[in-house]
Amino acid sequence: MTRLLHQPDPQLDLVLERIVDVPQELVWKAWTTPEHLKPWFTPAPWKTIDCEIDLGPGGIFRTVMRSPEGQEFPNLGCYLEIVKNEKLVWTNALLPGYRPAPPPAAEVAACGLFLFTAILLFEQHQKGTKYTALVIHKDEAGQKQHEEMGFHEGWGKALDQLVAYMKQH
């Protein structure tokens, strides 16, 4: 069973909650299959050009994003909890295999790398799926940085892309 261990903390967490008209199983597929993740994961004109998924506790979740100018940004995460169709948890605070991740170098941090855990909840809903993305940060600075980078717009636009893409697949 899924369980949510804490209420979101407005100082530390960011939440995107929306009803989407795509079945739960397709939202799951979009998040857990590289082939179906790459087309929607990064708000255009950014692209996700690579993705590696080992869908088990401790498994790798790696993506590479490319900016419109051609700069590449790798992201490396570790899956924590997988409840098929319902809940997916991953973090960049641990490397794959659970090793604590090195703290980001100052110059990397300036490019927006910071530590967080993403808790994704997908619930059946009469209109399709209730989609909740809860992103929990180490501290207020991380939350603020993520918010100012455009969390709500970015994750929201990516979700629009997910919906549009999965309706065709």
**Footprint of a copy of itself (CB under 8 A):** 3, 5-6, 12, 56-59, 80-81, 89, 91, 93-94, 96-103, 115-117, 119, 136-139, 142
Minimum Å gap between C-beta 21 and a copy of itself is 29
- Minimal distance in Å, beta carbon 106 to a copy of itself? 13
Q: Between residues 24 and 91, which has the closer beta carbon with respect to a copy of itself?
A: 91
Which residues lie closer than 8 Å to 143 by C-beta, 6 or more apart? 11, 12, 13, 14, 137
User: Smaller CB distance to a copy of itself: residue 98 or 150?
Assistant: 98
64/95 with CB nearer a copy of itself: 95
Of residues 48 and 117, the one with the C-beta less far from a copy of itself:
117
Which residue's CB is nearer to a copy of itself, number 74 or number 103?
A: 103
Q: Is the peptide bond before 104 cis (omega within 30 degrees of 0)?
A: no
Closest distance to a copy of itself from the beta carbon of 69 (Å): 30
Smallest separation (angstroms) from a copy of itself to the CB of 49: 25
Matching residue, tokens 């900016």? 67
Strand duo 87-91 + 116-125: pairing: antiparallel
User: For residue 84, which of 131, 58, 121 has the smallest C-alpha distance?
Assistant: 121
- What gap in Å lies between CA 50 and CA 82, rounded to an integer? 21
Query: Rounded distance, CA 61 to CA 121, Å?
Result: 17
Least distance from a copy of itself to the Cβ atom of residue 94, Å: 6
Cα torsion 45, 106, 103, 117 to 10°: value is -30
